[in-house]
Each structure stands twice: as C-alpha cells, then as structure tokens.
Amino acid sequence: MKFQNGAGELHDCRDAFTSMLEAMAERDPDIVAVCNDSVGSSKLVGFRERWPERLINVGIAEQNLVGVGAGLANGGKLPFVCAAACFLTGRALEQIKADVAYSNTNVKLCGISSGMAYGELGPTHHSTEDFAWVRAIPNIAVVAPADRIETAAATAWAAAYNGPVFLRISRVGVPDLFTESHKFELGRADMLRDGKDLTIIANGTLTHRAVCAAEILNAGGIGARVVNMASVRPIDEDAIVSAASDTGAILTCEEHTIFGGLGSAVAEVVVENVPVPLKRLGVPGIFVPTGSANFLLDEFGMSPDGIAESAIELLRKKA
Amino acid sequence: MSLSELKIIANRIRRRDLRAVFEAGAGHIGGEMSVTDILTALYFAVLNVDPDAPLDPNRDRLILSKGHTALALYITLSERGFIPKDEISTYFRPHSRLNGHPDRTKVPGVETNTGPLGHGLPVGVGMAKAAKLSNAAWRTFVITGDGEMQEGSNWEAIMAAAQFKLDNLTLIIDHNRLQQGAWLAETNNIAPLAPKLEAFGWAVEEIDGHDMAAICNAMSPQSMVVGKPKCVVAHTKKGQGISFMTDNVAWHHKVPNAEQVELGMAELEAAAKSKELVQ
C-alpha cells in the first residue's frame, strides 16, 4: 500500500463519486440515478444533462425513493439511489430493511454529505446514526471511503457487486490518502502505516486525521498503526484481531455517534477475541452544538492533537 | 379460461385457505377471503407469468402489498404451479419458506418482500418505470388493502406514478372497509378513494371485487388509459364466501375452531356445487 502523507489539497468526495458514476453509466445503459430532488447536492447535474431519462427524480419523498430503487432493480436496472445520508437512512430505514436488504435487491444506496457535513444546519441534517442503523440490518454492505480515490474505487466496486450496498459519501474536503491503483475490497481493511504501541482505526473523514495524529505520536516516540476501515459491515475481523494482538491498544475515530458505529463494531470484535484497552472517539451521544463539521470534530477530541492525546491516555491503561 | 373456471379456482383457494388457517392456527382469513377473487383473476386470466421461468425479465409483476394475506397468495401460486400444492401444509411451520409474509428470496413468483404496509406501491412504481425505460411491454400490478392507504408512502408513490405517466401500472385497492381494529370509516376514513386518486392524476375504475368478469375487464390491456396509471377500487367484503365471517371485524386474523371450519367449509362446498359455478 503506497501511502501519501495526510497533507495537501482538499477534495470533495462527491465529485469523485459522480465522475465514476458517469464513467460507468456511459458503458452500462442499465445504470440509473434516483434522487429525492437532491440533483445539486448529490452532484447529479452532469448526469441529468447527459442522460435526462435515466435521472429519476421522485421529489421530496424518501420512502418512495428507496422503494422505487428496489423496483427499478427488480426491472433489470442498476439504481444508484442518492440522497442526503440523514434523510436516506432516517426517513427510509424500513424501506432499506424490507425492500432492499431483506428482498435482496441490487440497489446502491448513496448517503451523500454524511456525518456532520451540513455542520451549522444542525443535528436534523447530520447523519451520525447511519452506521448503527444500517449495520444492524442483515445483507447490506456498509462502506465509508476515506478520500476521493477510495470513493471512486468503492463506487466502481458497488456497481460490480451484486447486492445491497450503503455507500457513505462526505462533502467535507479531505486530502488524497491512497494512490490511483487503490482497489476497494469489501470486508478488507487497509493498514496505512504500522506501529507497535497502539492502533488507530478510522474511516471516512477521520482517516486523514488519524494519519496526522500518528505522525504527531511518532515524533514523540510512540508507534501508532493506522488502519482504514472503510468496510464497516462486513468488518475485517482479522485486521482488528491482529491490531489488538500486535499493538495491545485500540483507538477508534469516526464522524458518527460512538453508540453503535465503527467504534462499537471494532469493540465487539476486540472484546470477543483479544480484550485490550480500547477507546472510542466520535460524537459523544449528544445533539451537537452549532459549528462546521471540522469544528465539531475538533470539539469532540478528533483534531490530530486531540486524537494523539487520547492515544497517550489510552497507553497508560496498557498493562 | 372461462369465468366459471375462474370461480371454481377461487372457491378451491378459499377452501384450502380456510383449512390452512385452521391447521396452522394462524393467518389473516378475513383479508384472504376478500382478495382471493382478485388474485385468481390475475394469476389465471391477466398476468403473463410462467411458473417454469419465474424470473423471466419480460414477465408481468404482481406485488401483494397487503403481505399479511400471504397465505392466499401462496395457495394461488400453488394452484398456478409456482410451488407444490402439498407445501401449503408447511405454512407457519418452523423453517417453512411460507412465512407469515412473503419472501421473494425463497418463494418463486414473489416479487418483493412485503409485510410492513405501504411498501408495495413505491416498488411497483420503480418496476413500471424500469419497463418504460426499457421500452418493454410487461405490466406491473400492486394490490393494497384500503386501510393500507392510510400509509403516507403510498401517496408519495401515487404522485410519482402520475408524474412519470406510468400507464403500465395498475393499483388494485382491496376495499373491504374493515381494518384490524374497526371499520375504516371509524378509524381514519380515507374513503371515498376514487376521487382522491383522480385528483392525483390517476385513471380510476370502481368495480365489485367479487365479480370475476368485472375484475378481468378492469385489468385487461384494453382498459389501460394512455399516459395515466390506473387504480381499480375493488369493493370487497372481508370474509367473503363464509357468511359468519363476512363484513365482521372479528375475523381479521381470528382462527376458526373445528366447528366453524365445518360450517365455513359446508358453505364453500355448497357454493362449489351451485348452479353459478358449474354452469
């Protein structure tokens, strides 16, 4: 795995998503985009210009949105159902369960502007429960890419994969972490750097922050392994067990509540296999105050310095 | 298939349903009896489906959105050859693929998993849209209950179907006027349904949902209205065919005892021998 440092120009992952979607749609006439009026926020303007018939806008009606997606799949189409992640999962969760996952329809649910991307718009517009809600449902992959390259790779993978997928796509700018050759594989974590003292497991917008934190720790003589866990369900149990056995402490970081998300999923594996000290960073189970996503992540201890501090605190618990 | 033959099949489905509910100790017999004629007409006179190719891309699609009446669907599917007739006796048993609500991943002929109400019509809109995009001739049919129309998701789908001009989509509302706990009119009276659907841009036809000829006519390709989705408001009776269950709220999901089964079966058998059916 070639890894570039966590600095550099910031990119909106939605652009990588739609570029890949359009590239695939050019080759595959069955690909359709379905949205709930979110043509602009899902970055589907270009798609609509090129294939107006294949952009199915159901209006502001998320239950219908997901049901229509399931019906399109039944009728032989490959639907990418796009909506703000908070409404897609919160409003249409039963459709996700019954029409998509339980019915095993080949629907790609694309939760756009996930996490706290809508910042100051407040908790109604934040999607910080979606990992918990969706990963509790059987038969649906839950994927949160970390940069624009992984977003494109995961989008391409989703089209090729035959089954229900929930793809979590942020609009908060992140630097490139992977090189162009990166391939996404469901259920496989990627170790971005190795270290012997603890492991930081993150995904989405938190991965580059975790990498920066590892650099801070390294400067202080602490070796931190960084694992990008884009695939939340299924989760890479082997990578988690190895991290626990090899480094003896695990710190998780996510743009999601600490209840039921990535940290919980990691903790489940750790506790049942190799119990070691573990700390979950994320939204601490509150309706967050006003602020941008980056402000709020810092506020909840997930600035690179904040993550490094939590790591040092966690190390004190190691036997 | 003649109307008389369709009526004989519907009668057979009702008899099997009554016995199956008794044997399983479960079912939604009232709504199963109200939807049986509609299911029979669809599977034996309307739908272009093939039990030997249940996933043929060009098949017509039927969604039983009122999934709690799955037993009537299973029996109809068994009569049509999709599943073995003797499998009906496994309904509700541990590990049977005949769950209380239909599962498309296990039962051939089932198109989408229903159970929570208000799910079938949005999925049907997606199917009909897919056919339009592919310039394919296959049609989509969705059966909902009338109480089910209280679910807001149906109205999201109703708006979209009109907007998309889905004239290849037919919604049949099993308007038996009773929901689980009380009359529709006493609960959240969404009737009259026809003017509401018309106001949303649908073509609407009201029929007697137990009149086999009327059902077949309302579903026929000739009855399709260019540019508009179609709603058939089928006026039905819960418990149709068994006098003491008919229009009786108690029989939403009540299980008959042995004596009641005898009584009901006697009525259905008498109907099977009646002039109307054997003519």
d(CA B79, CA B85): 7
Contact list, B61 vs chain A (CB under 8 Å)? 74-75
Q: In chain B, count of helices (H) and strands (E)?
A: 10, 5
Q: Is residue B39 part of a domain?
A: yes
CB within 8 Å: B153 and A67: yes
Instruction: Please report the pLDDT score of residue A8 as a whole number.
Output: 79
Q: Which amino acid is at B163?
A: Q
Contact list, B142 vs chain A (CB under 8 Å)? none
Chain segment A206-237, per-residue pLDDT in tens: 999 999 999 999 999 999 999 999 999 999 99
| B160: nearest Cα among A65, A40, A87, A45 | A65
What are the b/e assignments for B44-71, b being 16+ CB within 10 Å?
bbbbebeeeebeeeebbbbbbbbbbbbb
CATH architecture for residues A190-315? 3-Layer(aba) Sandwich (3.40)
Do A131 and A171 touch, CB atoms closer than 8 A? no
Which residue's entry shows tokens 């985009």? A33
Among A53, A74, A104, beta carbon nearest to B127: A74
The CA distance from A18 to the nearest CA of chain B, in Å, is 21
- Sign of the four-CA dihedral A17, A22, A24, A28: positive
CATH of the domain at B228: 3.40.50.970
d(CA A133, CA A128): 10
A88: its two tokens: 């897609």
CB within 8 Å: A58 and B160: yes
CB within 8 Å: A63 and B156: yes
Q: Is residue B148 part of a domain?
A: yes
Do B47 and B250 touch, CB atoms closer than 8 A? no
CA atoms within 13 A on the CB side of A286: 7
d(CA B10, CA A41): 51
Measured between CA atoms, the residue of chain B closest to residue A52 is B133
Measured between CA atoms, the residue of chain A closest to residue B113 is A103
User: Domain boundaries in chain A?
Assistant: 13-169, 190-315
Which residues of A lie inside 8 Å of B (Cβ-Cβ)?
32, 53-54, 56, 58-59, 61, 63-77, 79, 94-95, 98-99, 102-105
d(CA A220, CA A217): 5
Pairs across A and B, CB distance < 8 A: 111
CB within 8 Å: A71 and B112: yes
Tell me the CA distances in angstroms from A135 to A63, A103, A235, A243, B266, one per residue in order.
19, 16, 10, 22, 51
Specify which residues B145 forms β-bridges with.
Answer: B174
Task: Provide the residue-wise pLDDT of chain A in tens; the chain has 319 residues.
Answer: 333 444 679 999 999 999 999 999 999 999 999 999 999 999 999 999 999 999 999 999 999 999 999 999 999 999 999 999 999 999 999 999 999 999 999 999 999 999 999 999 999 999 999 999 999 999 999 999 999 999 999 999 999 999 999 999 999 999 999 999 999 999 999 999 999 999 999 999 999 999 999 999 999 999 999 999 999 999 999 999 999 999 999 999 999 999 999 999 999 999 999 999 999 999 999 999 999 999 999 999 999 999 999 999 999 998 6
Specify which residues A190 forms β-bridges with.
Answer: A228
Instruction: Please report the pLDDT score of residue A5 as a whole number.
Output: 45
Do A182 and A150 touch, CB atoms closer than 8 A? yes
The CA distance from A48 to the nearest CA of chain B, in Å, is 15
Omega of the bond leading into A234 within 30 degrees of 0 (cis) = yes
Contact of B109 with chain A, judged by CB distance below 8 Å, is answered with: no
Contact list, A103 vs chain B (CB under 8 Å)? 104-105, 112-113
CB within 8 Å: B112 and A54: no
d(CA B185, CA B187): 6
* Sheet architecture: strand order including A108-112: A55-57, A31-35, A78-84, A108-112, A165-169, A141-143, A231-233
Quote the strand ranges of A115-240, DSSP E.
141-143, 165-169, 190-193, 198-202, 224-228, 231-233
Q: Is residue B20 part of a domain?
A: no
What are the b/e assignments for B84-95, b being 16+ CB within 10 Å?
eeeebebbbeee
Interface test with A, best of B156, B163, B164, B165 (most A CBs within 10 A): B156
Interface test with B, best of A57, A64, A97, A140 (most B CBs within 10 A): A64
Among B104, B113, B160, beta carbon nearest to A61: B160
Instruction: Please report the pLDDT score of residue A7 as a whole number.
Output: 60
| A102: nearest Cα among A76, A66, A155, A127 | A66
Tell me the CA distances in angstroms from B248 to A58, B20, B69, B181, B186, one per residue in order.
39, 20, 17, 11, 14
CB within 8 Å: A99 and B125: no
The CA distance from A34 to the nearest CA of chain B, in Å, is 10
Angle between helices B212-219 and B29-41 (to 10 degrees): 60
Which domain range does residue B177 map to? Answer: 31-240
Contact of B58 with chain A, judged by CB distance below 8 Å, is answered with: no
In the predicted model, residues of chain B with pLDDT beneath 70 are 278-279
CB within 8 Å: B112 and A63: no
d(CA B42, CA B37): 9
**Number of compact structural domains in chain B:** 1
SS3 state of residue A233: strand
The CA distance from A59 to the nearest CA of chain B, in Å, is 8
Do A64 and B125 touch, CB atoms closer than 8 A? yes
Q: Is residue B258 part of a domain?
A: no
d(CA B248, CA A312): 70
The CATH number of domain A13-169 is 3.40.50.970? yes
d(CA B260, CA B256): 5
Chain segment A117-169, per-residue pLDDT in tens: 999 999 999 999 999 999 999 999 999 999 999 999 999 999 999 999 999 99
d(CA A170, CA A12): 7
Q: Which amino acid is at B224?
A: M
Contact list, A68 vs chain B (CB under 8 Å)? 122-123, 125-126, 129, 157, 160
